[in-house]
């Protein structure tokens, strides 16, 4: 009996280690989280692989910083220039383009700045000239980086409007859209978050269709050479699945109200 008890105790202590689920940590953007894409994709991947995915949704800049520190296994973000630079520096490896959508500028339905059209830089210039309220994420996210590039193209330095018409929320896309709705302000947003956003109030899309509003998402593995604890096999399984025919089809299948939010970049 004593021997049997000792065996049972040993088995009980061994069980947690054996039963520990396989998982990876993915540093990603608020747009992939708040659009509902992960709720659609991750159960499919987890059923297929047996690997759980724990998402930390931040602005792209913060997500990239997480990867730089080794606090994640994979980064799934949308700032191609920053991604490529960090791959060149050896912070990440195995970068692949996954999908795209576009940015849009939303604003109050009456469009007091007369920004409506297909030229994003011209629209921003009109907003600044009218000193119409503009809500910016101001959080070093991929969306914020895109917004700053567009302001530069417009020839306007929005920092000159801080404290008056230009408001930085320092938060994610959903909260920034809530601020814009409450203020009757303009804002730049990715289309995926916009389509899933319910509290639109008086906001509508005023600028869309400019090729400069193209929004590409990429996925990368945190360098195991820099951070040996990175789960290379599991992380690459996720990257491989996202860029497989099944993963790309799952991305294309995600719709809200019949409208597709993200478009695969890899042709099967």
Domain ranges of the chain: 21-100+216-264, 101-213
Q: Which backbone phi and psi does 250 adopt, to 5 degrees?
A: -65, -40
Across 70-78, average pLDDT: 97
Task: Give the per-residue pLDDT at 268.
Answer: 53
What CATH architecture is 21-100+216-264? 3-Layer(aba) Sandwich (3.40)
In this predicted structure, the answer to whether residue 14 has a pLDDT above a threshold of 80 is no
Q: For the segment 79-114, what is each residue's pLDDT rounded down to a tens digit? A: 999 999 999 999 999 999 999 999 999 999 999 999
Q: pTM of the prediction? A: 0.85
Which top CATH class is 101-213? alpha beta
Task: Please indicate whether the domains covering 21-100+216-264 and 101-213 agree at the CATH topology level.
Answer: yes
Q: For the segment 140-183, what is each residue's pLDDT rounded down to a tens digit? A: 999 999 999 999 999 999 999 998 999 999 999 999 999 999 99
Question: 218, 193, 189, 174: which is closest to 77 by C-alpha?
Answer: 218
d(CA 28, CA 74): 8
Task: Give the per-residue pLDDT at 72.
Answer: 98
CB 29 within 8 A of CB 77: yes
């Amino acid at each position: 009996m004593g021997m049997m008890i000792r065996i049972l105790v040993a088995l009980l202590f061994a069980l947690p280690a054996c039963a520990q689920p396989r998982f990876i940590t993915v540093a990603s953007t608020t747009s992939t989280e708040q659009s509902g894409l992960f709720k659609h994709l991750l159960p499919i991947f987890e059923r297929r692989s047996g690997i759980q995915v724990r998402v930390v949704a931040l602005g792209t800049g913060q997500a990239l910083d997480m990867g730089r520190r080794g606090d994640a296994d994979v980064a799934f973000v949308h700032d191609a220039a920053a991604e490529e630079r960090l791959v060149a520096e050896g912070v990440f490896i195995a970068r692949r383009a996954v999908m795209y959508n576009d940015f849009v500028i939303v604003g109050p339905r009456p469009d007091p700045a007369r920004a409506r059209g297909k030229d994003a830089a011209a629209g921003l210039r009109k907003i600044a000239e009218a000193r119409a309220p503009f809500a910016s994420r101001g959080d070093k996210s991929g969306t914020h980086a895109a917004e700053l590039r567009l302001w530069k193209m417009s020839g306007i330095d929005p920092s000159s409007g801080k404290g008056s018409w230009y408001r930085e929320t320092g938060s994610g896309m959903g909260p920034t859209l809530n601020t814009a709705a409450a203020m009757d302000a303009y804002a730049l947003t990715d289309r995926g978050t916009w389509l899933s956003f319910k509290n639109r109030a008086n906001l509508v899309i005023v600028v869309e269709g400019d090729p400069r509003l193209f929004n590409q998402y990429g996925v990368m593995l945190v360098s195991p050479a820099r951070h040996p604890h990175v789960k290379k096999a599991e992380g690459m399984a996720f990257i491989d699945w996202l860029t497989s025919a099944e993963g790309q089809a799952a991305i294309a299948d995600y719709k809200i109200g019949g409208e597709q939010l993200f478009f695969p970049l890899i042709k099967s």
